[in-house]
Each structure stands twice: as structure tokens, then as C-alpha cells.
A and B are shown apart, each in its own frame.
Chain A
Amino acid sequence: MEKSEIFEKMTEICRDVFEEESLVVTESMTAADIKNWDSLTHLTLVNELETTFKVAFTIDEVTGSKSLGELLNALMKHISEK
């Protein structure tokens, strides 16, 4: 799966989880940039990504990924290792 394709899917998931239909996301975005991104929606986002792409993040990836780009990189890594 191409990175752009994954990011597109990830954008959809972010719009759903952060409940903002027209949300435009970039890799550099962090919780500071998105209104509904708190510790709980972070976990929901992680779960949605895991379920959609059938991967499991490590605890370091869950806590350590502060930006969407970091989550994307972790995701890419797991997908490539499958």
C-alpha cells in the first residue's frame, strides 16, 4: 500500500474520530492543532488505525507518537513488516 493511500485513509479516520467532517490534516499536526484530540480520542484513533490496517502498535508508539506523521510512520513500519 502506498504512503499516500494510507494517509488518505488515515485522514478519513481522523475526521471520524475527531468529529470534524472537513478537517484538513497534515503530518506535522499534533494535539495542539486539533480541537478534539485529547488523551482519550488519541486512544480511539490508535484503535481505529489498528483495526482498519490490522496492526498492533507498541506501547512506545502509542505514547510516543505526538504528531500524525509519527503515527503514520509507525503504521507504515507495521504494514511493511506484515
Chain B
Amino acid sequence: MYSFRELQKARSINIDGKETRLAVLGNCATQFFSEALEGFGKLTGLNLSVYDADYNQIDEQLLNPSSEVFSFEPDQILLWLCTEILYEEYLDREFSERSHFAESYIQKLEHYWECIKRYSNASIVQLNFTEIDDKALGQYSCKVDATFVYQIRKLNFLFQESASKNSRVYPVDALAVQIDLGRDVYFNAPLYYNAKVPVAINALPFLGRAVIDVLKSIMGRIKKCLILDLDNTLWGGVIGDDGLAGIEIGALGKGHVFSNLQRWIKQLKEYGIILAVCSKNEEDIAKEPFSKHKEMILSLSDISVFVANWNDKATNIKLIQESLNIGMDSIVFLDDNPFERNLIREKFPDIEVPELPKDPSTWLGFLQRENYFDTVSYTKFGSDRTKFYQAEIERKKLGQTFETIDDYLKSLGMIGEARHFEPFWYSRIAQLTQRSNQFNLRTVRYNEDEIQRIAEDRHYITLYYTLRDKFGDHGLVSVVILEKIANDELFVDTWLMSCRVLKRGMEEFVINHMVQTASDYGFETISSEYLSTTKNQMVKDIYETMGFSRMSDHTFRLNISSFQKLKTYIQEEHKNGEK
């Protein structure tokens, strides 16, 4: 972990790329914290600017729409209500009122969130509450609702409930940081009483990291795939040597270690992380534990891509990455073998390769502390992803039997459908704006709240596209947001597409439909823009390919009346009563 001084010094690093503006507001002295955040952001490659409001300025700043915080035009506003101050406020209340403390405090918090929503588009980064137990009734406090420990725990619970209903709010688990470090490391009494700084200077980098993890996720820097080695990683022993009965997995002894690791990994899959296997093995032997061992937790149906052969792992990981069509930087690679780890780090520096400790029983705790899978969205659609990728491999097999790509595309029987944004899909649409990097023309990230606002705003035409074929349903694969910038002109604010459906005619289908829609609404021109990032080079010329004229290096224009419909094998779904 970086030291606080390293973070302070890192603030002067220059980072290219889009600036992120973060305003920090607290009921305590936040200056050191803000410095740590800015430094940590820079060291993580974020072009982060932090505005630190003075000590205890929350009400003044949030109730006034022209305050410094709102004038700063932050992308995020961080709220830090430290428990130490809360505790003093709690004790200053009448004894009889203390059992309502958590409920009244959550209302205060929600009021702050409302103010932010009213006066700004900023996301809200909210720290939860570290626990302090004053042992007023000893351990009996746990069952007396007026005690502080009862109320602070209740407040954390109410915060979770309230945040889960508010898409603008991103939680930072400060409590987890304190639990991890221990209260004595997290809190330094002289520092608090001297300067109202409620976190020890040496603990600030850990709290800072938790916040930066959230900011990274908001900016779409998230992990999507976990690639797993097998022998001595998912089970103890070597399947090829020890055989099915000899490997360690299951309730007994060291097998328990690997079972719990698998339980955790299975859960990641359920939350939408793609699992892949990369093992030096004979494929049928490597698959044997998955299909035959009674105590294996993971099954073959959990694994999207299974690669077991004797090629070097770098080649195999490249293969996995290409077949999933995701960025190297969204992959975590788990392997017990330091040689393989170093090889992959060397070949693909963007892949996250945990330096697993020697003792496998400590891996799970280690991986959890490293917090690789921070995210800012979760939808129930995630867990279906494995099936998508497995169907994708079937499609590829079919593709190999056709002479021409056209024959293949025709044989898929693809049906596309377009609809305006609907509440049911808001979270999935927001998630796509946050996760799509490659086929994303302007890489504008939206949260669910903003998607709703745009959907309801008459200045926008919103469209989402779904695609299915004879192998299955791809679900929502493309999002278009058109902004009415003149009576006769639309601007493509957002066009993104899932790379899963690339080069199947979906690009053409979307453009055909987009132009038709614009024409139906009476528009004459569509203007568009490509904003370059390190990841979206694949679409830098797409507007031109689709028939737009290039106006400048990165801007394009289409005259609707001269548009020639593009060729695609995707049929449009016709709904009753709809065109």
C-alpha cells in the first residue's frame, strides 16, 4: 500500500484523459483525506481533481445551489459523516430521543441526496458508518435500542436499504476498511482531538483506495472475467497424476479450502463475472472433475470458455480474450504457479494477476481484500452471460461449415427489435453505458437516474435494440440516444453496441432503423461524433462506413434524404399495432 506521503506527492502527477471532478464534504476535517484521494486517483491513472469543502460545511454547501461545491461542477460529490461526530450528536440528544437516532439520521442523509439531485448531476459517493461501541450497557447494549451501538448498526442497515433504492448513490464501505485494519489502526485519538481528523494518517490510504475503487467502477474500469488455472488452484493436487480420487476437494482437510474458493467463484459467476479455464492438461482429463467428482462446486455449465491443452498460457489467454471479445484490462488471472503468473504479467501487463500467497488457505481472504470485482451496477441479466458465450461457441462451429459469411448470416435467422427506453430496462441500459468500451462512439457513462431523465425528456429520442437468432436470445445489444439539437437536426449523443454481435449486420440494422426513426419524426439531418479513447479505435471510421459524410477529424453528418438503406440479414420484428 502507498504511504500517505506518497499519495500527497502524487497529486502533482499529470494524467491525460478525461478529467473527473470530485467534491468532498464531511462533518469532520477532510483535507488530508482529499489529498489522499487525489494522489491515489493519479497513481491509478485517473485524471482526478478534488475540491475539498471546509470543515463541516455540508448544510451551507448543499442548501445553496450556487455554493462552491455546485459551482465546481463535480462529477461526484462525496459525503463523509464520521461516526465520532455522530456519537457526540447522539449523546447531546435527550435520553428519550436516542432510540430514534438512526431513523432521523437517515432522513437527514436522504435530504442531502435530494439537494444534490436538485442542484447537480453529480453522482453521490456516500461513506457508510464505522462502528464504535461505547459499552454503555456492556454487551447487553446489543439488545437495547437506545444504545449507540444498536443505533449505528441500524443506521448502516437503513443506509443500505435507502441506497439500494437510489441509483444516484454509490456506497463506500468505510466500515469494512475499519474492520480490516482494526479500530486501533484506523483511529488515532490525538489526531482526532487535535484536528478533528477521524482516521489515522496511515489508514487514509486504505480508505482512499476504497473510494478510488468506486470511482474506477463509475468510469467503467471493471473486471468482467476470471480465468482459472485448475491443478493446485481450483483443487489440491494434479488431476493427471493423482486421479479423480486423489485430488483435494470437498469437506475434508485441505479440500475444504478449495471448496470454499470454488463457492466464492461460483457466486462471482452468479453476479455476472465470466469464468474461463486455462489449464495445461489433456482436455478430457481436465474436464473429469467437473463432470464426475461429486464434491466439485463448479460445473462445466459455469465455465464460458474451457481451454485445456499444452500450448503456452499466453497463447491460450489471448484465445480466451478474443473469443469473449473483452479488454485485457477486464481480466483477472488466477494461477498458483509463479512462472505462469510472471509470463502473463510480462505478456499482458493490463491483466490483473493476483500474487497469491504460498498457503492456499489464505487465498480467499487475500482475493477478497484485494477487491478486484468492484462494480456500480448489478442486474439479473448478468448471470445469463455464460449461456451467451456457450451459444457463441456453437455459432462459431456452425460458421465454419459455410462457404461464405453471407450464407452463414442468412442461416442464423436473426430477428432484431427496436424500442424506446422503458423503465424495465433502465438499469441494464445504464449498465451498458458503463461497461461498453470498444463499440462506444462517445463513451458517455450514465447512471440509472440519468437514463430515466433522458428517457422522459422530450429533447431526446431513445432507442434500444435486441437481437435473437436460432441459437438463443442476445438480449439488449445496442443503445442509441438521439438529441434534438435543432428543429430539423438530431445529434447522436450515444451509440454503443455489445461486441458479442459485431459483424453480423447489427451495425447496419441499427443505422437503418435510426435513420428511419429520424425521418418519421420529420428530421432532415443526423450529425454525429466519434470521441477517441484507447479502447474504441475499432469504430473510428464506422460513421463513414455507414454512409455519413466526414465533416472534420471526428464529426460526421448524414443527409437523411440521400441515405441508401444498408444491407443486413437481420429481419425487423413487427409488433401488433407498431410499425
Q: Which residues of A contact B (CB under 8 A)?
A: 16-17, 39-40, 43-44, 47-48, 51, 56-59, 62-63
Partner of A62, one of B3, B4, B8, B194: B194
Q: Which of B164-213 contact A (CB under 8 A)?
A: 189-191, 193-195, 197, 200-202
Given the complex, which residues of B lie within 8 Å of A17, measured CB to CB? 5
> Complex: how many Å from CA A56 to CA B8?
22
Top 6 A-B residue pairs of the complex, sorted by shortest distance between their CB atoms: A47-B201, A59-B190, A62-B190, A62-B194, A59-B193, A43-B195
Whether A47 contacts B4 by the Cβ 8 Å rule is: yes
Given the complex, which residues of A lie within 8 Å of B195, measured CB to CB? 39-40, 43
Q: A40-B32, A43-B194, A43-B201 are in contact. Are A59 and B189 (CB under 8 A)?
A: yes
Given the complex, which residues of A lie within 8 Å of B194, measured CB to CB? 43, 59, 62-63
Tell me the minimal C-beta distance from B54 to chain A in angstroms: 13
A sample of 27 cross-chain residue pairs with beta-carbon separation below 8 angstroms, ordered by A number, consists of: A16-B5, A17-B5, A40-B31, A40-B32, A43-B32, A43-B191, A43-B194, A43-B195, A43-B197, A43-B201, A44-B8, A44-B201, A47-B4, A47-B191, A47-B200, A47-B202, A51-B3, A51-B202, A56-B190, A57-B190, A58-B190, A59-B189, A59-B190, A59-B193, A59-B194, A62-B194, A63-B194
Residue of A nearest to B191 (CB): A43
Q: Which residues of B contact A (CB under 8 A)?
A: 3-5, 8, 31-32, 189-191, 193-195, 197, 200-202
Tell me the minimal C-beta distance from B335 to chain A in angstroms: 35
> Per DSSP, are chain A's interface residues mostly helix, strand or loop, or mixed?
helix
Given the complex, which residues of A lie within 8 Å of B200, measured CB to CB? 47
Tell me the minimal C-beta distance from B182 to chain A in angstroms: 15
Given the complex, which residues of B lie within 8 Å of A63, measured CB to CB? 194
Tell me the minimal C-beta distance from A39 to chain B in angstroms: 7
Tell me the minimal C-beta distance from B548 to chain A in angstroms: 53
Given the complex, which residues of A lie within 8 Å of B189, measured CB to CB? 59
> Complex: how many Å from CA A47 to CA B195?
13
Tell me the minimal C-beta distance from A13 to chain B in angstroms: 9
Given the complex, which residues of A lie within 8 Å of B197, measured CB to CB? 43
Tell me the minimal C-beta distance from A79 to chain B in angstroms: 18
> Complex: how many Å from CA A62 to CA B192?
12
Given the complex, which residues of A lie within 8 Å of B201, measured CB to CB? 43-44, 47
Tell me the minimal C-beta distance from B193 to chain A in angstroms: 6
> Complex: how many Å from CA A39 to CA B31?
12
Q: A40-B31, A43-B201 are in contact. Are A48 and B193 (CB under 8 A)?
A: no
> Complex: how many Å from CA A39 to CA B55?
14
> Complex: how many Å from CA A40 to CA B29?
11
Residue of A nearest to B195 (CB): A43
> Complex: how many Å from CA A57 to CA B200?
13
Tell me the minimal C-beta distance from A74 to chain B in angstroms: 12
Residue of B nearest to A51 (CB): B202
Whether B5 contacts A48 by the Cβ 8 Å rule is: yes
> Complex: how many Å from CA A18 to CA B189?
24
Whether B190 contacts A44 by the Cβ 8 Å rule is: no
The winner among B5, B31, B193, B202 for most chain A CB atoms within 10 A is: B5
Given the complex, which residues of A lie within 8 Å of B31, measured CB to CB? 40
> Complex: how many Å from CA A62 to CA B193?
11
Given the complex, which residues of B lie within 8 Å of A44, measured CB to CB? 4-5, 8, 32, 201
Tell me the minimal C-beta distance from A11 to chain B in angstroms: 16
Tell me the minimal C-beta distance from A78 to chain B in angstroms: 13
**Further contacts, 20 of them, CB under 8 A, given A16-B5, A43-B191, A59-B194:** A39-B195, A40-B31, A40-B195, A43-B32, A44-B4, A44-B5, A44-B32, A47-B4, A47-B191, A47-B200, A47-B202, A48-B5, A51-B3, A56-B190, A57-B190, A59-B189, A59-B190, A59-B193, A62-B190, A62-B194
Tell me the minimal C-beta distance from B486 to chain A in angstroms: 52
Given the complex, which residues of A lie within 8 Å of B3, measured CB to CB? 51
Tell me the minimal C-beta distance from B32 to chain A in angstroms: 7
Tell me the minimal C-beta distance from B186 to chain A in angstroms: 14
Tell me the minimal C-beta distance from A21 to chain B in angstroms: 13
Given the complex, which residues of B lie within 8 Å of A48, measured CB to CB? 5
Residue of B nearest to A62 (CB): B190
Given the complex, which residues of B lie within 8 Å of A43, measured CB to CB? 32, 191, 194-195, 197, 201
Given the complex, which residues of A lie within 8 Å of B4, measured CB to CB? 44, 47
> Complex: how many Å from CA A44 to CA B4?
9
> Complex: how many Å from CA A44 to CA B194?
13
Residue of A nearest to B31 (CB): A40
> Complex: how many Å from CA A16 to CA B31?
19
> Complex: how many Å from CA A40 to CA B36?
13
Given the complex, which residues of B lie within 8 Å of A47, measured CB to CB? 4, 191, 200-202
Given the complex, which residues of B lie within 8 Å of A16, measured CB to CB? 5
Given the complex, which residues of B lie within 8 Å of A58, measured CB to CB? 190
Tell me the minimal C-beta distance from A49 to chain B in angstroms: 11
> Complex: how many Å from CA A59 to CA B197?
13
Residue of B nearest to A59 (CB): B190
Tell me the minimal C-beta distance from A45 to chain B in angstroms: 11
> Complex: how many Å from CA A51 to CA B202?
8
Given the complex, which residues of B lie within 8 Å of A51, measured CB to CB? 3, 202
> Complex: how many Å from CA A78 to CA B3?
23
> Complex: how many Å from CA A47 to CA B8?
14
Given the complex, which residues of A lie within 8 Å of B5, measured CB to CB? 16-17, 44, 48
> Complex: how many Å from CA A59 to CA B190?
5
Given the complex, which residues of B lie within 8 Å of A40, measured CB to CB? 31-32, 195
> Complex: how many Å from CA A51 to CA B4?
11
Tell me the minimal C-beta distance from A59 to chain B in angstroms: 4
